């Protein structure tokens, strides 16, 4: 049930305002100290983020800022009107990183200050800031709200400024962002308001950012402006196009549609607004649309956006493999939307999807060394794949012409601890399992729990109460949707914890805790085969391997002697595990039985289609032949976690495997 919680002071992307009606709120100062995510975050902090300024320099983003500030000559560089957003996303990532402190933060802080200076210098007197239009590209300010991305860029600027302010207390970027927000507030507004433009940016982003600016500053105007923009979608102001999130008003929509990132940033804002205003209709619509997405338009990896064309969601159950788009930014947007719904409703399912997306569709977007990226995240790369070298290639790239994804990954990894825990005012909820220290609010006192775990390498999660008030409070542990078997025991005696109540994805233990209490949650990580709803035609007759939250895939390099197009899996052969500390930064591989099929001959020998053999079969023996493997060689399949693919030689990859 929603209720008013005291305003949060979390140093993360989402804080709740004083009037927010939410089941949960982010915890203050969670930390992640060791384990899986620490390794990935160290690479983000030590490699990816430090490379940002150099990459932004060579791509021309920083030049553009100097150009419009009159500090450098030349022409605008870059292909898109939203190149400024790459700078802002990097600033946001670097700010969250500064909040962690640690080695190198002095140099990083200096780089951040330098780049904030460039941004401030580029701003117009009236607060406007977009180097594309300032440099004379396009037809002028707000002339192209369908594609101009001015408010999209403003949104990323605002989010960076809020991050910088929360992380460092620094005011300079926040001042720049507020000046731009104030300018926007004078230009956009409902008919009759006296403001010249009654419309919205067809790429949402400013909406959720404005809600956060309201939360940071307490200025009601920003919340109202966010609400205005959300409400103007769906009335034909942008041609009624799904691409522009304009076909139908959000409150009336029954599925997610159009450009996936645009849709999900808009929905993140809707969930934010529902949280701040308490509006039931918006909350209901947000949950309804999330449900439509999760049940019919989400790949096994948590990736969304089936179409390369228009980066679009596609139809229900239209979830292709080799042509899956699954933009890394869309995975991030899905996580952002889900987290806001998790806070609003307290339902575990939103964090289930966050977990799946984090470990798979999101994490595959960055290489293990933090240097190269995937923009699209297909579930299959075929034998003979030809790389066109473009942004939507299935090979990792150092940077993109449209570089939206890399700094988006950086900012999520740098703020990841924010998405792991929450408080409901009567304890602590652990949504994701990572080693660290998490603090809940127990009726005004601190309830602190440390977590030690190698998850998802193994399923043991050790929980130690570090601080506890004398009165009872509730520790809530999410039991993932994929987990059929788990135990919760006292660490010292091994006895099951009495009074643990499981339901709706949460395992809740309410009791009087004492510092030093230790529990062990064990999630069964036995590998499993999964199949899809039969309506997902692309994978009918196939199975995929999962272990815990990890989706697995085959890579060509582990299967010499042929490609992967002819490989199938034998579900009768039990899956086994092999720990490979030497491989891909240390992974547990899953071994399976399979076949490399010999393609069935066709009458002509050249045409790849033939009459379905059993169509003319009449005898029982003919019928059973349908179920026997179609020859070929028995082989052992080695599956690796999907997040680690494309880190060795190029070659085929597949998640879904035909069953014999």
Active site residue 124: no
What is the distance between the alpha carbons of residues 307 and 460, in angstroms, rounded to a whole number?
39
What is the distance between the alpha carbons of residues 263 and 267, in angstroms, rounded to a whole number?
6
Position 261 contacts ligand FUB (CB under 6 A):
yes
Compute the least distance from the CB of residue 218 to ligand FUB, in Å: 29
Out of 36, 76, 82, 133, the only residue in the binding site for ligand FUB (CB under 6 A) is 82
Number of residues that bind Zn ion (CB under 5 A): 4
CB closer to Zn ion out of 181 and 366: 366
Number of residues assigned to the chain: 660
Distances in whole angstroms, Cα of residue 620 to Cα of each of 398, 482, 613, 623, 624:
57, 38, 13, 5, 6
Position 327 contacts ligand FUB (CB under 6 A):
yes
CB closer to ligand FUB out of 243 and 473: 243
CB closer to Zn ion out of 149 and 349: 149
- What does 543 interact with, of ligand FUB, Zn ion, none (CB < 5 to 8 A by kind)? none
Report 321-340 residues binding Zn ion (CB under 5 A). 327, 329
For residue 585, give the nearest of 103, 36, 31 by alpha carbon.
Answer: 36
- What does 82 interact with, of ligand FUB, Zn ion, none (CB < 5 to 8 A by kind)? ligand FUB
CB closer to ligand FUB out of 212 and 517: 212
- What does 203 interact with, of ligand FUB, Zn ion, none (CB < 5 to 8 A by kind)? ligand FUB
Tell me if residue 55 falls in helix, strand or coil: helix
Position 355 contacts ligand FUB (CB under 6 A):
no
Position 257 contacts ligand FUB (CB under 6 A):
no
Position 153 contacts ligand FUB (CB under 6 A):
no
Compute the least distance from the CB of residue 112 to Zn ion, in Å: 22
CB closer to ligand FUB out of 49 and 304: 304
Token pair for residue 262? 């645009």
Compute the least distance from the CB of residue 305 to ligand FUB, in Å: 8
Site string for Zn ion, 29-68 (x = CB under 5 A): ----------------------------------------
Q: Which residues pair with 422 in a beta bridge?
A: 26, 429
What is the distance between the alpha carbons of residues 97 and 49, in angstroms, rounded to a whole number?
9
For residue 410, give the nearest of 28, 65, 128, 49 by alpha carbon.
Answer: 49
Out of 22, 115, 157, 404, the only residue in the binding site for ligand FUB (CB under 6 A) is 404
Q: Residue 322: CB partners within 8 Å, gap ≥ 6? A: 378, 379, 380, 381, 382
Catalytic residue (choose from 205, 257, 287, 311): 311
Per-position b or e across 94-113, b if 16+ CB within 10 A of its CB: bbbbbbbeeeebeebbebbe
Residue nearest to ligand FUB (CB): 261
Distances in whole angstroms, Cα of residue 308 to Cα of each of 227, 338, 392, 511:
30, 23, 8, 51
Question: What does the angle CA 52 – CA 53 – CA 54 come to, to the nearest 5 degrees?
Answer: 95
Burial of 217 (0-12, 13-18, 19+ CB in 10 A): middle
Token pair for residue 79? 């292909």
What is the distance between the alpha carbons of residues 226 and 220, in angstroms, rounded to a whole number?
10
For residue 642, give the nearest of 456, 388, 384 by alpha carbon.
Answer: 456
Out of 216, 311, 352, 660, the only residue in the binding site for ligand FUB (CB under 6 A) is 311
Position 402 contacts ligand FUB (CB under 6 A):
yes
Compute the least distance from the CB of residue 209 to ligand FUB, in Å: 14
What is the distance between the alpha carbons of residues 106 and 113, in angstroms, rounded to a whole number?
11
User: What's the gap between Cα 592 and its chain centre?
Assistant: 29
Out of 256, 329, 343, 430, the only residue in the binding site for ligand FUB (CB under 6 A) is 329
Number of residues that bind ligand FUB (CB under 6 A): 8
Compute the least distance from the CB of residue 566 to ligand FUB, in Å: 34
Compute the least distance from the CB of residue 554 to ligand FUB, in Å: 28
Token pair for residue 394? 């299935």
Report 395-434 residues binding Zn ion (CB under 5 A). 404-405
Compute the least distance from the CB of residue 433 to ligand FUB, in Å: 30
- What does 402 interact with, of Zn ion, ligand FUB, none (CB < 5 to 8 A by kind)? ligand FUB
Compute the least distance from the CB of residue 58 to Zn ion, in Å: 19
Backbone φ and ψ for 279, nearest 5 degrees, come out as: -70, 115
Compute the least distance from the CB of residue 343 to ligand FUB, in Å: 23
Per the CB < 8 A criterion, the answer to whether 656 and 321 are in contact is yes
Active site residue 404: yes
What is the distance between the alpha carbons of residues 61 and 80, in angstroms, rounded to a whole number?
11
What DSSP state is assigned to residue 358?
I
Q: Which residues pair with 567 in a beta bridge?
A: 596
Out of 164, 166, 203, 596, the only residue in the binding site for ligand FUB (CB under 6 A) is 203
CB closer to ligand FUB out of 31 and 392: 392
- What does 99 interact with, of Zn ion, ligand FUB, none (CB < 5 to 8 A by kind)? none
Catalytic residue (choose from 153, 329, 404, 553): 404
Residue nearest to Zn ion (CB): 329
What amino acid positions are annotated as catalytic residues? 311, 404
Binding residues vs ligand FUB (CB under 6 A): 82, 203, 261, 311, 327, 329, 402, 404
Q: What residues line the site for Zn ion (CB under 5 A)? A: 327, 329, 404-405
């Amino acid at each position: 049930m929603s209720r008013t919680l005291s305003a949060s002071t979390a140093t993360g992307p989402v804080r709740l305002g004083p009037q927010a009606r939410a089941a949960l709120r982010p915890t203050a100062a969670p930390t992640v100290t060791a384990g899986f995510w620490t390794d990935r975050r160290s690479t983000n902090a030590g490699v990816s983020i430090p490379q940002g300024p150099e990459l932004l320099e060579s791509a021309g983003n920083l030049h553009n800022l100097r150009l419009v500030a009159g500090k450098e000559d030349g022409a605008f560089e870059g292909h898109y009107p939203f190149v400024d957003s790459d700078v802002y996303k990097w600033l946001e990532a670097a700010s969250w990183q500064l909040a962690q402190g640690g080695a190198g933060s002095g140099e990083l802080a200096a780089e951040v200050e330098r780049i904030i200076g460039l941004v401030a210098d580029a701003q117009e007197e009236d607060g406007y800031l977009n180097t594309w239009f300032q440099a004379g590209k396009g037809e002028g300010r707000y002339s192209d709200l369908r594609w101009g991305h001015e408010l999209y860029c403003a949104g990323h600027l605002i989010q960076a400024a809020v991050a910088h302010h929360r992380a460092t207390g620094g005011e300079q970027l926040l001042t720049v962002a507020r000046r731009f927000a104030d300018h926007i507030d004078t230009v956009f507004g409902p008919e009759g308001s006296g403001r010249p433009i009654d419309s919205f940016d067809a790429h949402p982003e400013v909406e959720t950012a404005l809600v956060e600016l309201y939360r940071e500053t307490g200025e009601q105007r920003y919340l109202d402006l966010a609400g205005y923009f959300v409400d103007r979608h769906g009335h034909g102001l942008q041609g009624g196009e799904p691409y522009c999130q304009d076909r139908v008003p959000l409150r009336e929509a029954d599925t997610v549609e159009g450009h996936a990132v645009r849709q999900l940033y808009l929905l993140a804002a809707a969930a934010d607004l529902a949280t701040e205003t308490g509006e039931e209709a918006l909350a209901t619509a947000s949950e309804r649309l999330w449900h439509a997405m999760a049940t019919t338009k989400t790949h096994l990896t948590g990736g969304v956006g089936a179409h390369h064309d228009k980066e679009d969601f596609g139809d229900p159950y239209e979830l292709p493999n080799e042509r899956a788009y699954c933009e890394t930014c869309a995975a991030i947007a899905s996580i952002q939307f889900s987290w806001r719904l998790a806070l609003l409703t307290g339902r575990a399912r939103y964090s289930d999807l966050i977990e799946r997306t984090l470990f798979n569709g999101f994490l595959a977007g960055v290489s293990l060394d933090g240097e190269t990226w995937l923009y699209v995240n297909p579930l299959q790369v075929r034998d003979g794949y030809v790389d066109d070298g473009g942004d939507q290639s299935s090979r990792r790239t150092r940077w993109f012409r449209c570089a939206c994804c890399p700094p988006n990954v950086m900012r999520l990894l740098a703020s990841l601890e924010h998405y792991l825990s929450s408080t409901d005012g009567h304890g602590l909820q652990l949504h994701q399992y990572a080693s660290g220290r998490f603090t809940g609010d127990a009726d005004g006192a601190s309830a602190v729990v440390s977590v030690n775990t190698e998850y998802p390498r193994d399923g043991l999660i050790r929980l130690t109460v570090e601080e506890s008030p004398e009165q009872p409070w509730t520790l809530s542990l999410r039991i993932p949707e994929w987990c059929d078997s788990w135990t919760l025991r006292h660490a010292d005696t091994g006895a099951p914890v009495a009074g643990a109540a499981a339901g709706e994805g949460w395992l809740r233990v309410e009791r009087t805790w004492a510092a030093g209490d230790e529990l062990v949650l064990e999630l069964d990580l036995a590998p499993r085969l999964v199949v899809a709803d039969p309506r997902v035609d692309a994978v009918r007759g196939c199975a995929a391997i999962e272990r815990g939250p990890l989706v697995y895939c085959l890579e060509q390099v582990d299967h010499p002697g042929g490609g992967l197009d002819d490989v199938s899996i034998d579900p009768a052969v039990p899956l086994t595990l092999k720990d490979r500390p030497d491989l891909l930064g240390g992974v547990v591989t899953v071994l399976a039985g399979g076949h490399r099929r010999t393609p069935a001959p066709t009458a002509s020998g050249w045409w790849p289609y033939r009459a379905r053999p059993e169509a003319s079969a009449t005898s029982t023996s003919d019928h059973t032949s349908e179920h026997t493997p179609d020859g070929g060689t028995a082989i052992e399949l080695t599956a690796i976690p999907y997040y680690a693919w494309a880190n060795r030689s190029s070659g085929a990859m597949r998640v879904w495997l035909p069953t014999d």
